[in-house]
Amino acid sequence: MRVILTYHATRLQRLTREGSDLLSLHADLEWLADQGIAVMSLDELLADPRRAGVAVTFDDGSRLDGFPHLHPGLGLLPSMLQVLTHAKRRLPGLCVSNFVIASPQARTVLATHLRAEFGASLMDSDWWTSAHASGLMQLENHSWDHNHPLLQHSVQRDNQRGNFLVIDSAEDAEAEIAVASDVIGHATGRRPRYFAYPFGDVSPYLRDVWLPTRGAAIGLRAAFSTEPRAIHPDDTAWALPRFVCGRDWVSDKQLAAIIQHARLSGV
């Protein structure tokens, strides 16, 4: 059984376990510890297909991941890193992979659009170094600019924005993925080993052509979708599945069902 659980710190509909990934992360890690389920890094989970356990990933890399944040409606919120620090006492193998957006310009645009909802500095990278140094979080590649629809211009060759399926050429892949790895690696001193497809959009070109031939050369070992299932031994390394908090589970009961199904299916 190999399961990957994914969280977005910006899912803050309300301060309940069901309404926020921040509180869900805390509750889920406590539940996993109570059940005696091994929680480990992606490196460990993927090293041996016979290994059983859970890995945790974060997407988008907001400031909420690394620093306490003053939310305009919810007040001062603890960081996801603080939740991890608390959980580490019971889960010694805990180390999450955080897929961040590399482009400072793209992050500034996103933060500006989201300022009224989330407050200032949402997408700053000033927390990257300390989060990486904590030993609880490794920063990974979520592309250069997410090809996000809020951007006026993306690096996609025809400026087609809003999905990642249009990243279907070597030119686009280099701009979105290879350059992002360079920037993140320079910022942290460690090149990303993993890539998460923005929007969960698995471009067949990236999965079948570019990543298998170019990925290792830029330091990548695997890539991740948001297909909601456990990892199967026959899965390609360039589109491994992940469950997403809020979409696939919001309670102990639903998380238990995911784990139980993975165990019963023998993967």
**What CATH number does residue 232 fall under?**
3.20.20.370
Predicted confidence at residue 7, as pLDDT, reads 99
What is the three-class DSSP state of 196? strand
Predicted confidence at residue 265, as pLDDT, reads 85
Residue-range definition of the domain harbouring residue 186: 2-264
Looking at residue 54, its amino acid is: V
Distance (Å, whole) CA 178 – CA 14: 37
Q: What number of CA atoms fall less than 13 Å from residue 196's CA on the CB side? A: 32
Looking at residue 266, its amino acid is: G
Q: How many domains does the chain have?
A: 1
Q: Are 156 and 166 within 8 A, CB to CB?
A: yes
Predicted confidence at residue 266, as pLDDT, reads 72
- For the chain, the residue count is 267
Predicted confidence at residue 267, as pLDDT, reads 67
Taking the chain (267 residues) in runs of 10, the rounded mean pLDDT of each run is 98 96 99 99 96 98 97 96 98 99 97 95 97 98 97 93 96 98 98 98 98 99 99 98 99 98 86
Q: Are 207 and 239 within 8 A, CB to CB?
A: yes
Distance (Å, whole) CA 97 – CA 144: 17
> What b/e readout covers 145-170, taking b as 16+ CB neighbours within 10 angstroms?
bbbbeebeebbbeeeebbebbbbbbe
What is the three-class DSSP state of 199? helix
Q: Are 140 and 192 within 8 A, CB to CB?
A: yes
Q: Are 222 and 194 within 8 A, CB to CB?
A: yes
pTM of full prediction above 0.85 = yes
